[in-house]
Structure 1
């Protein structure tokens, strides 16, 4: 099925006409095509999905960027594994508490934005995402599970601002492992004086 036909099906499923735009970002809704007429970027934020992931979405076999913010999503379906080419997922401002194991089956996932959801613990699957470099848990309710981030061989940018963290396993951070670490607005009681292993640290 051609991507344009899939977009038409997707528009019907979300009850909103999707428009082709020159550049998709966090502010502009619609879809972007490459030179082959394949959908590579899609923004369906604030589409009143009421927790429902439209099936047509998972037929987009060339999708690289997906913004699906503010849709009252409570879970991520196993069919997320079908988005094999996605590099950036923005699922902020929803109602997620956990991630499916299929997240580790996304071979090209580099950036994962999960801010302003309902996570209380960092899911173990985070450490199994082989190419993940950026993870954002800003504005959640995290109290633990940070070892799953710090045990990763690929994650370099970590955003944990405004959670409920009282401690962080700093001893797991390897030299030159992290480019950025934001732990502002938490209740972390003890932070080592020497944090040279982190290039940019916000506390």
Structure 2
């Protein structure tokens, strides 16, 4: 409930630039409701103990207001009606996290303008196939489920820029994503991956890659082909050494003014273009509200079995390592 209130506050602040409300796409053609009815809907939507009526109220309010954000997070939802997302072509951010969902209604395919979807902390045992028709989707947050593989059809999502699938059941690196040429952030932390394929070199557009908390024992040299890589988290694996090719990656060698001193959890990263895509160009000009990925650039190799690093790693701007890892930069 608090997050819904905070979201509304942010939208109000963004609207305070002398522009129209950024969460409204156009005039509503929905039936008119009295102020009393609207207040009752709002009260139900924000109830401390959500019910089916609460969910229905939030959906109705969204249809009425044409809000670009539909927030149903943490509402104890086990299933959604098949028509839940009818007449919601305006929605660009859909929050369904922290529920008990194991599937999504087919009507979600009607969200043609959807940019971000949050289905983290649910009960999905496989990647929801209905999402494969949402070609405008850019960011998928699906951590803490039971997903174990990526369907080949994921390549249909040509605009996919970030996918967060930490805390799932992946045992193999999802090479199916190699044809998603816009992919910039991939978080596979806290899975069960033991081997990285040579195809990892094909992911040459990635800016951030997290493989923290897996079972990796070695990293293929082909990682040196990922020339845009800015953030690499390999912490909490079983690595004994790192290929020197990592040290030659240009974005890892670049000095960064105002670096935050750690490689940040990728789920909280974002891009400034999000503001313009979702709220409009005026908001992007007035509100630089997101941290840039380069502020968290570097390598994290904490909690591995690495004892020595090649002196070439002295050229890397930031390395988070255990104190016993030897690196001679004299």
Shorter-normalised TM range? 0.7 to 0.9
When residues 190 and 65 of structure 1 are mapped into structure 2, their CA distance, relative to the original with a 3 A threshold, is same
When residues 191 and 102 of structure 1 are mapped into structure 2, their CA distance, relative to the original with a 3 A threshold, is same
| Structure 1 position 190, deviation (Å) | 2.3
| Structure 1 position 144, deviation (Å) | 2.7
Rounded Cα–Cα distance in structure 2 between residues aligned with 1:196 and 1:36: 40
Residue in 1 aligned with 2:118?
113
Gaps of 5+ in 1: 1-15, 17-23
Structure 1 residue 28 corresponds to structure 2 residue 32: no
Residue in 1 aligned with 2:56?
54
Structure 1 residue 192 corresponds to structure 2 residue 197: yes
Residue in 2 aligned with 1:170?
175
Residue in 2 aligned with 1:128?
133
| Structure 1 position 197, deviation (Å) | 4.0
| Structure 1 position 30, deviation (Å) | 5.2
Structure 1 residue 86 corresponds to structure 2 residue 91: yes
**TM-score when scaled to structure 1?**
0.74
Rounded Cα–Cα distance in structure 2 between residues aligned with 1:175 and 1:85: 25
Whether the aligned pair in 2 keeps the contact of 1:120 and 1:141 (CA below 8 Å) is yes
| Structure 1 position 176, deviation (Å) | 3.5
Query: 1:136-170: CA deviations, max 9, x gaps?
Result: 10111112344343432221110000001112431
Structure 1 residue 63 corresponds to structure 2 residue 67: yes
| Structure 1 position 191, deviation (Å) | 1.6
When residues 144 and 51 of structure 1 are mapped into structure 2, their CA distance, relative to the original with a 3 A threshold, is farther
Give the count of matched residue pairs. 180
- Which structure has the highest strand share of the two? 1
Rounded Cα–Cα distance in structure 1 between residues aligned with 2:111 and 2:165: 23
- Which structure has the highest helix share of the two? 2
Instruction: State the Cα RMSD in Å.
Output: 3.1
**TM-score when scaled to structure 2?**
0.48
Gaps of 5+ in 2: 25-41, 212-330
Secondary structure of the 1:80 match is coil
| Structure 1 position 83, deviation (Å) | 1.7
When residues 48 and 83 of structure 1 are mapped into structure 2, their CA distance, relative to the original with a 3 A threshold, is farther
Secondary structure of the 1:89 match is strand
Q: Which has the larger radius of gyration?
A: 2
Whether the aligned pair in 1 keeps the contact of 2:155 and 2:180 (CA below 8 Å) is no
